[in-house]
Amino acid sequence: MSEEHAGKLGNDEIAMLSQKYRQGDEPYIEASETHQEWAMLKTLVRSQHYPTESLPVLGSIINTHHRDVFPNLLILASMAVVFTVHFADIEGGGFQHRIS
């Protein structure tokens, strides 16, 4: 992957998530800090040759060794896990919502 491509990778998604979860009286994350963390994380993963094939493994490495450096990204990752499980339970349980 080129440096240019790596530099842009995920920026739009991080911007969207940062916008969504920084709203309200008590934001879940700090948007500008999240963007900085994302740029640092990409550099760290590449320089340390961390595995990228398995997000759970990569998440565990980041959570174990770099928790203090990436607090906003870890909050987003936690939210992604919770929301995925929540919606999977609803869809798997036969829940249907129809608008008439």
Break the chain down into helix, strand, coil percent, rounded to 5: 70, 0, 30
Q: Give the per-residue pLDDT at 3.
A: 77
Percent of the chain with pLDDT over 90: 39
pLDDT reading at 45 higher than 60: yes
The tens digit of pLDDT for each residue in 11-25 reads 898 888 887 777 667
3 state DSSP class of 24: coil
Q: Give the per-residue pLDDT at 23.
A: 61
Q: Give the per-residue pLDDT at 24.
A: 66
Domain ranges in the chain are 3-92
